[in-house]
Structures are given as structure tokens and as C-alpha cells.
Structure 1
């Protein structure tokens, strides 16, 4: 209940003062109209109840009248029978004239009540029957007929039974009417009481409504006074702000004349406030400028109506010394006593800055054209370098293959006549040839690392590492474990495959035993993944940890361990080109951990610095 009351108060406070005042005036008016309507309705019902009572009384009067008419007719006929004086038939003759109209009127009065209507019709039949008996008696008296005592007694008995039947029917009829009369009198009394209660309630509601209206009007008067105070304070604050704002501010009356001029406007135009008071604000503009003419065309609406919020016009202002300068003008949509606040800003510095920016934009466009030309030249150079590297590697590999083949042929031709020393020299020659071939392949792979246009595909890293391990075919005694779930994401698979292959291959080949352990793991760093390859080999001395990423650098002599020394250099180049980092954590005798990061969202590689991915490796 309290929540509903708070909601109502909040909604009431949100209504405009005009609306609340109208409601306050309407409350007593509504109470008055409600009271009048209620009184009218209840009065109408009371009149209807009174009409019902009057109607029932009229029915009773008619029924009594019919009974009296028959009784008078019977009395007159008996007197005439005894005294033979026709003057005694006056009541009988009157009954003949009035009884039927009375009974017909009674039927009309009760026609809405089927039961009473039936009784009224029966009453009419019995009354007519009795009147016929009386008419026969009068006729016999007029004719001078006299019957025996028994006949006379039978006639009297028949008349008495007819009269008793009439009394019985009329008693039932009047009993029902008296019952209806009682009900209608009680309904009339209830309506009268209800009408009186409604009048008192209407008076009470009217008094309450009037008190409520007075209370609301008092609250509105208090709110208007408080609002007027706040408005004056707000106006004072606005005037204080206007006096210290960095833009020029003018208060303009509905005719466009200047009423106030702040300090910033004084500095901007060079006029003192007392010099421009009463001027039309157009006198501060250069009317010949095109932007100014556009503003002046709109100016009548700008002063008379609230301008669009945020609408700004450019124009040319004119200082006291005649100097012209560009300005921006805006009119606020809040009026103080129909006045408008015009805000004027000097945009000379901004236009100068815009001109400088335009010059810089032109210069940047020229530089961009130059850069595009350089990129095109770079693409051409890269293409030529790729062709040169491929041709060079192919042309160098061909003599090397020939040397290896010649050494085998020589060894086959000499057969058993070749000394062991010569045979050893031939084998050393072939090893040097194979090393040279590996150096050329590594050099070609290094030159292409990070510049190959590899498509972006969805990669299941776990399954891919399993395929890499199968390809490397480590000894059965070697243990390689994937210790954490590997991610599946969209990336360039070929470069990632090269990095993982080189690092896992290094861990296997450089392990001092055939029963080493390699552990591969990955963690999610938000926008990238960090992969780790751990091996429990000999580790790397701290002084050598920076040299391992240099191409063709090896930690052991190549005669002791066949190794080109290009794998880690290729790895670092690929990881760096893909926006990642690589680091080594190692202590001698405790193995080594290579950690590298790989972006979830691949970098956009400039086509000018890349070359198409080769369809297949060239083996020579």
C-alpha cells in the first residue's frame, strides 16, 4: 500500500502545474455534479415509488367504489320492492350508469398485473350477474308479479349468494392491493431515506472535495513560489556563468535587440556593453558574406521560435575596428521572458588549423602515393628474391647431387681396390654434400619464414601435434605427453605447424639419451595462447641462450653432431611475424622449456611483404 502511495505521489509531482490546478478546480465541480446526478436519480426513483403508491390507492378507491355502487343499488331495489316508490331506485339507476365504467377503469389500472387483472375481470362478471338479478327484480315489481313465499325466498337466496361471491372476490382483490400498497409504501420510505442520505453524503463529499481542492491549490501556490525563487537563483547563476564563459554571449529580446553583452563578447567585437545595448544583433555581422546571408534569411524564425537543438550557423563577424573574422552562432532553445541567448564563438584559429590540416592531408596523400609505389617496388623485389632463392638453391643443389653421385660411382668402380682411407674420404665428401644441401634448404626456408601467405583454417592443435609426432617418429623409448587440453581455433596452420615441428624435433634430436621425456602444454591468456615444450635433456648454458636464435649457430661442432642450426632462427622469425613472443627457460642438467605465444586473431599480413605459399617442398 505504501508503495502504491509513493508511486502516486511521484506521478502527481510529475504532472505540470496547469494540470494539477485543473484537477484541483475539477474536484469540487465533480463532487457537485455527482451530487446533483445522484439526487436526480434518487428523486426520480422516489417519484416512481410515490406514483406506485398513488396508483395502488386509486385501485383501492375504484374497488371500494364498485362495492358501494352495488350495495347502494341493492338497497334501492329492496326499498322499491317494499314501498313501490320509484324515487328509491335513484341509487340503482346511478349504479347502472357508473358501475361498468368503474369496473373497466379498474381493469385498466391493473392490466400490468396479470393476477389482479384476472380478479378484476371476475369481479366484473360477478357484478354484472348481480346487477342482472336486480334488474329482473325491478322488472317483476314493475309488472306487478308476486310469487309464492318459496319463490321469493329462493330469489332472495340467489341474490345473497351473488352478493357474497362479489364480496369474496373484491376482498381477495383488495387484500392483494393492500399487500402491494404496503410494499410500495416501504419502498417509498426507503427511497426517501436513501435520498436524504445521498444528500448528506453529497454535502460531505462536496465539503471534502472543496477542502482537498483548497489544499492542492495551497500546495501549488507554495510550489510556484519556490519555483519562482529557484528560477531567480537559476537566472542569477546563468548570468554569473555567462559573465565568465569563454564564448561571446548575448541576450536578445524578441525584436532582436541586444539586452546584455558578456566580457568575452566585449573582447571579441571590441565594443563595450553600453555601446551595443539596444542595437540589433545583425549590426555585429558582415551582411555581405554568403554565410551571413544564410543566417539572416533564417533569422526571423530563429528569434520568434525555439531553434533546433544543436543547430549552429557560420557567419562573418565585424569588430569595432572594421576587421572581419569567422564566427559560429547558436541560439539556445530555452527562453527567459521570451528572450534568447545567442552564443558566438570566434573560429579564426580553428579555420587556420583546418587549413593546416588540409595541407597535411595533401602531404600525407602524396606520401601515401609514394608509399604505395614503394610497396609495389618491394613486392617486385620480394618476388625477384623468391625466384632468385629458388633458382639459386636449385642450381646449387644440382652440382651437389652430381658430386654425391660421382663419389658413389667412383667408389663402385674402384671397388675393393679402394683403400679404407679413400673410402672414408668419399663418405666424408658425401656428408659434406648432404650438409650443404641441408644448409641450402634451411636458408630457403628461413628466407620464406613469416612471409608466406598461408590460409586461415580451423585448427585442432591436439590432433595436429599427434600427427607431427607420428611424422617425426621418435624412438619407442621416448615419452612425449600432451599435459593439458589443446585449443581449437582459427589461425594460419602452416606457420604454427613449422614452429611446433622444429621445437619438438629439437627436443628429440638433442636429447642425450633415447629415453627422454617431452611434455607439451598450452594456457589461455585472453587474446592469445601460450604453448610450452619441455624436455628433460642437458639444458642450455645461460651464455648460449641468446645465440641459439642466430641462423647456422650450433652449440656443438657439426662433426660431433650433425646439425644445421637454423631451426630456432626460423621459429623465432615465424613467431615474431605472427605477433607472438618466444622465450627459453633452462638450467644446465635440468632440461629446457621453450614458451611461445600465438594470437587467437591472426594479424593482417601486408601482401607486399609476403610470397605465395609453395604447393610442395622442393627436394634436391
Structure 2
């Protein structure tokens, strides 16, 4: 399975769980809304029931007031209630259509109220109105006074009240049941939502941990392979059978490692061939040069004093050219071998190294060389650093135009490098030649004037650049020269801060 498919699958699963939680909350909201609507409807039923009951009571009170006083003002609420009651019955019937028990109670109320109205209330009111001779007379003068006396009307009203209490009790009971159902739904929804949320969080964290570990482990495998390649071990391969996007990267790294191994192997073979070629060429070139030098000496020995002075001068010039050619061959071999061999890292006291180097180049007694303070102690390759100082000091001595010259070697510590400088008070170098002097075989003076191969500074530049540094010259004609190069700051301390003069 592809990595993107795994990530997408995890996202889908978590999304489904979240969607289930959202759906559960949506269903709960529907229940809440339905219950809210029912509560509102129930309150309306109770209000309408109370209004109907109140209107019936108003009819009874209006009738009693009129029967006792004969004042028809008491009949106004009676007639008003009589007008309102049919509509209220219709509203309650519509609102309780889904409750058969309430519908039955409502029908009984309507039957009793209708009987009370037709057979009791209207009959008494009519009799009261008919007694015009004595309208203030009491109930005992009415033909139907016995019905009042035996509490027939009161019994009907008590039945109506009892039916209304039953009707409202049923409504409250249904409302409480709905509230209980809603509370249970809310609790169930909370439990489900909490469970789904916890599951989705745990699943999300687990999946994220699995994916991150899965990816990081494989990436670290590739990083380790890259580090091994950087250290020169090109034979390692990554075994990856997952067949996803990272597998393609692993395959590319394997191909790269194989290609680098093949290229390095070919390069090593070519280098061996070049080394062999250089050895053979140098040997084959030096053999005729030695033959020329020997021939010139044999001529001198054979002719002895009969050798003309100009011929002797030509033979001497010939031997000088032979030596120059041999030095050129040696310089080319030295330049080609830079970086080929394995450099041994060791602790190098630069101050002591300079003392040894000055002794090795053997400056003339009148040439003064000062070593400045602050020379570091480095953990580095000793031979290349010594070769750089040796070539720079040799050049400063060789090209100096004074018999009592002065050379300074100084050092400046920077964050990542040491900046070494070799300064002389010699003839200086015209700025237009500053780049030219680091090119192989390039010299600024005639070779016959000063014997030089033009390889020394090229070797210095190659060594410095190979160790990650830079080299530059600061000079003007007639103002001396300062060669400055940088060397990696891998110091383990500093030498004694003393100035040494050689």
C-alpha cells in the first residue's frame, strides 16, 4: 500500500468517526427541537384547557348571579363564554388528536357541558325571565328550583372539573415522559459523543505516531546510507519491500550508491593508470636528460683544455636546462600527487612547524624571518601545511631583491579558520599579475635570471583549496608582498606567544 494511501485511509477513518459523532449530535438536536416544540404545544394545550374551564365557570357564575338577583348584567360573561366555548373545544380537539385518552375526556366534558347548558342553565334562565312579576324573588319561586336544591347542576360542574383535572394530569404526565426521554437521549448522546471523540483522538494519535515512526525510521535508514556514502562506503544498499513512495526514493539512493561505487572504482582505476603513466613518463624523460648531462660532461672531459670558452658556456647552459627540465618533471609529479595519498591527522604545533620549515629552506644568514605570536596548535595533516609554508618562504627568499631582506609570518584567529600571512619586503608584484602567479608554469621573471619551474604557487593553491581554504596575495610593485591563506580552525590550544627570529 502506498504511503499516501495509508495517510488518506487514516484520515478517512477518523473523519468517519467524527462524522458519526456529528450525526449523533444532529439527531440529538432533532430530539431537543421536537421536545421543545412539544413543550410549547403542551403549554398551549394547558392554556387552552384552562381557558375552556374558565369560560365554563364564567357561564356558571353568570347564571348564578342572574338567578339570585335578576340583573341581566350577570348574563354578559355567560353569553361571552357561551360564544368562546365552541372554538376552544375545536382547538383542544385539534391539539390532542394524537392522544385518545385526552380526546375521550374532552368529549365527556363537551357532552356534560352541553347537557348542563341546554337542560339546566338555559331552562333556569328562561324561567327567571318569565317571572316578570317579581324579578327579585329567590330561586324557590322557579318551577325547576328542585333541580338546584338537589345539586344537579353542581354535580355536573364537579364532573367537568374532575375531567379537566384528568385531562391536564394526562398532559403533564406525557410532558414528563417526553422530558425523561429527552434526558435519556441527551445522556446517551453525551456518552456516544464522548466515546467517539476519545476513540478518534486515540486513533488519530496512534495513527500519527505510527506514520511518523514509519516515515522517520525509513528516512533515517536513507540518511545512514547517505552518511556511509559520504564516508566512502558505496557498497551498502537499502532493503525496502514496502513498495510505496519512499521505496522509490530508496531505490534512487541504491542506484546512486551503485553509480558512485562504479564511478569511484573507474576513477581509482584511472588514477592508478595515471600514476603508472606519470612514473613511466618521468622515468623515460629523465633518462635522456641524464644522458644529455653525461654527454656534456664527457665532452668537457675529452677535450679538456682544448675546449673553447664559448663551447664550455654552452655546455653549462645545457646542463642548467636539463636540471630545469628535471625540476619541472618533479614539480608536475608533486602537483599530480596532491590529495592522492592518505593524509595522517595529528597534533601540529604551528610555531614548532615553522621553526623546522625555516631550518629546512635554509635562508641566507642576512635574511631575517620573524614568527609572530599566537600560533595555534592544530589537529591536522602536518605534511601539506608544512609544504605550503615551505613553498611560500622559499619564494619570498628566492625572489627577494635585497641581501638583507625581512620576512614575517603572522596568524589571525577567526570563527572557522586561521588566517596565516607570509609577508616580505621584496620587490612586490604588480596587481595585474596577482592571478597569473598561481597558474602552473607561470613566472614573472626570465627563467635564465632566476631558476624557477613556476609550479610552487600552483601546488600551494591546490593544497589550500583541497583543505577548504583560500589563498590570495596583496602587493604592489616595489612595496613587498603578503600571501594570505586560510586553514580550518581545528585547534587544540595555542603555542607560546613569543616572537621567534631566524
**TM category, shorter:** 0.5 to 0.7
Shift in CA distance, 535/314, structure 1 to aligned 2, threshold 3 Å:
closer
Q: Distance in 2 between matches of 1:594 and 1:545?
A: 10
Alignment of 1:468-507 (within 5 A): 468-507=357-396
Equivalent residue in structure 2 for 1:527, among 416, 439, 453? 416
Q: Does 1:388 align with 2:150?
A: no
Give the gaps of 5 or more residues in structure 2.
1-10, 32-194, 211-242, 492-502
Q: 7, 20, 23: which one pairs with 1:258? A: 20
CA-CA distance at 1:248 after TM superposition: 6.6
CA 1:601–1:390: 2 relative to 1, 3 Å:
farther
Deviation (angstroms), 1:500: 0.6
Q: 2-side partners of 1:582 and 1:449: how far apart?
A: 17
Q: Which position in structure 2 is the counterpart of 1:366?
A: 255
The residue number in structure 2 matching 1:577 is 466
1:435 to 305, 324, 333: 324
Instruction: Report the aligned-residue RMSD.
Output: 3.5
Q: Does 1:450 align with 2:212?
A: no
TM-score, length of structure 1 as denominator length: 0.43
Q: C-alpha distance in 2, partners of 1:276/1:590?
A: 94
Evaluate the alpha carbon distance shift between residue 313 and residue 449 of structure 1 in structure 2; reply closer, same or farther with a 3 A threshold. Answer: closer
Note if contact 2:14-2:200 (Cα within 8 Å) is conserved in structure 1: no
Task: Tell me which residue corresponds to 1:593.
Answer: 482
1:405 and 2:294 correspond: yes
What are the equivalent positions in structure 2 for 1:250-289 lying under 5 Å apart? 258-260=20-22
Structure 1 distance, partners of 2:260, 2:200, is 54
Q: Secondary structure at the match of 1:372?
A: helix
Return the offset for 1:395. Answer: 2.1
Under a length normalisation based on structure 2, what TM-score does the superposition of the two structures give? Answer: 0.52
Aligned counterpart for 1:311 among listed residues 206, 210, 218: 206
In the alignment, does 2:413 pair up with 1:518? Answer: no
**Contact 1:518–1:534 under 8 Å retained in 2:** yes
Task: Indicate how the Cα distance of structure 1 residues 418 and 528 shifts in structure 2: closer, same or farther if over 3 A, else same.
Answer: same
Q: Secondary structure at the match of 1:597?
A: strand
Query: Is the 8 Å Cα contact of residues 14 and 203 (structure 2) preserved in structure 1?
Result: no
Cα distance in 1, alignment partners of residues 29 and 460 from structure 2: 77
Residue 563 of structure 1: CA displacement? 1.0
Is the alpha carbon distance of 1:301 and 1:591 closer, same or farther for their aligned partners in structure 2, counting shifts above 3 Å?
same
**What is aligned with 2:268?**
379
Superposed, 1:417-428 pairs within 5 Å as 417-428=306-317
| Cα deviation 1:502-527 (Å, max 9, x = unaligned) | 00110111000121110001111122
Change (3 A) 1:550 1:246: farther
Give me the whole-angstrom Cα distance separating, in 2, the residues matched to 1:277 and 1:398: 107
Q: Note the C-alpha offset of 1:600.
A: 2.9
| 1: CA distance, partners of 2:199 / 2:15 | 18
Gaps of 5+ in 1: 1-244, 263-271, 279-299, 316-353, 603-620
Task: Tell me, yes or no, if the aligned pair for 2:14 and 2:204 is still in contact at 8 Å.
Answer: no
Q: Distance in 2 between matches of 1:275 and 1:367?
A: 60
Aligned to 2:229: none
Q: Is the 8 A contact 1:251 1:261 kept in 2?
A: no
Distance 1:599 1:277 in 2: 75
- Structure 1 residues 495 and 305, CA, compared in 2 at 3 Å: closer, same or farther? closer
Taking the aligned partners of 2:402 and 2:341, their CA distance within structure 1 comes to 36
Relative contact order, CA 8 A, sep 6+: which one is greater?
A: 2
Structure 1 residues 371 and 306, CA, compared in 2 at 3 Å: closer, same or farther?
A: closer
